[in-house]
Amino acid sequence: MKIFIQKNLNEKKINELFERPAQKNNSTIVIVKKIIDDVKKNGHQSVIKYAKKYDGLNGDSILISKNILVEQAEKINVELKNSIDKAYENIYKFHSLQYPKSISVETMKGIECQKKYLPIENVGLYIPGGSAVLFSTLLMLAIPAKIAGCKRIVVCSPVKNEINSALAYVATKIGIDEFYSVGGAHAIAMMAYGTEKVKKVDKIFGPGNQYVTLAKTLVSNDYNGSSVDMPAGPSEVLVIADKFANPKYVAADLLSQAEHGIDSQVILLTNEIEFARKVLSEINLQIKNLPRRKIVEACLINSFILVVNNLDDAIQLSNNYAPEHLIINTKNFKSLAKKIKNAGSVFLGGYSPESVGDYASGTNHSLPTYGYAKAIGGVDILSFMKSISFQTLTKNGLKNISSTVVKMAEEEKLNAHANAVKVRLK
Ligand SMILES: NC(=O)c1ccc[n+]([C@@H]2O[C@H](COP(=O)([O-])OP(=O)(O)OC[C@H]3O[C@@H](n4cnc5c(N)ncnc54)[C@H](O)[C@@H]3O)[C@@H](O)[C@H]2O)c1
Ligand SMILES: N[C@H](CO)Cc1c[nH]c[nH+]1
Ligand SMILES: [Zn+2]
| pLDDT category of residue 338 using cuts at 50, 70 and 90 | very high
Examine the residue annotation and report whether 325 is marked as an active-site residue of this protein.
Answer: yes
Do the strands 345-348 and 178-180 form a parallel or antiparallel pair, or are they unpaired? Answer: unpaired
Report the predicted TM-score, pTM, of the whole model to 2 decimal places: 0.95
Helix (H, G, I), strand (E, B) or coil at 182: coil
Residue 27: its pLDDT value, please?
Answer: 80
Instruction: Label residue 274 exposed, middle or buried (CB < 10 Å: 0-12, 13-18, 19+).
Output: exposed
- CB 310 within 8 Å of CB 275: no
Q: Supply the mean pLDDT for the chain.
A: 97
Question: Annotated catalytic, 274?
Answer: no
**pLDDT on residue 28:** 86
For residue 24, pLDDT beyond 70: no
Residue of 236, 259, 282, 324 with catalytic role: 324
Q: How many helices (H) and strands (E) does the chain have?
A: 17, 14
Our CA angle for 144, 146, 150, nearest 5°, is 105
Fold adopted by 43-84+116-231: Rossmann fold (3.40.50)
Give the pLDDT score at 160.
Answer: 86
- Do the domains 2-23+234-374 and 43-84+116-231 sit in the same CATH topology, yes or no? yes
Residue 77 alpha carbon to ligand 2 centre in Å: 22
- The protein residue with its alpha carbon nearest to ligand 1, atom 23, reads 184
**Phi-psi category of 349—alpha, beta or left, where left has phi over 0 and alpha has psi -120 to 50?**
left
CB of 365 sitting under 6 A from ligand 2:
yes
The answer to whether residue 99 scores a pLDDT higher than 90 is yes
Q: Quick one: DSSP state of residue 121?
A: S
Boundaries of every domain in the chain = 2-23+234-374, 43-84+116-231, 394-425
Please give the Cα distance from 210 to 137 (Å, whole number): 17
Place 21 in a pLDDT band, splitting at 50, 70 and 90: confident
Residue 25 pLDDT > 80: no
pLDDT (mean) for 136-164: 97
CA-nearest residue for atom 6, ligand 1, is 207
pLDDT at 274 over 90: yes
Residue with the smallest CA separation from ligand 2 atom 10 is: 358
Give the tens place of pLDDT for each residue, 26-43: 788 999 999 999 999 999
Measured from the alpha carbon of residue 366, the closest ligand is: 1
Pocket lined around ligand 1, Cβ cut-off 6 Å: 31, 54-55, 128-132, 134, 137, 158, 183-185, 207-209, 211-212, 232-235, 260-261, 264, 324, 365-367, 369
Which tens digit of pLDDT belongs to each residue from 56-98? Answer: 999 889 999 999 999 999 999 999 999 999 999 999 999 999 9
For residue 286, the model assigns a pLDDT of: 98
Q: C-alpha distances in angstroms, 164 versus 70, 280, 346, 397?
A: 11, 35, 30, 60
Residue 316: per-residue pLDDT: 98
* Pocket residue to mutate for ligand 1, from 57, 138, 188, 212, most atoms within 8 A of Cβ: 212
pLDDT above 70: residue 353: yes
Respond yes or no on whether ipTM tops 0.95. yes
Class of domain 2-23+234-374: alpha beta
* Tens-digit pLDDT profile for residues 202-255: 999 999 998 999 999 999 999 999 999 998 889 999 999 999 999 999 999 999
Distance (Å, rounded) from C-alpha 379 to C-alpha 382? 8
Average pLDDT over residues 303-308: 98
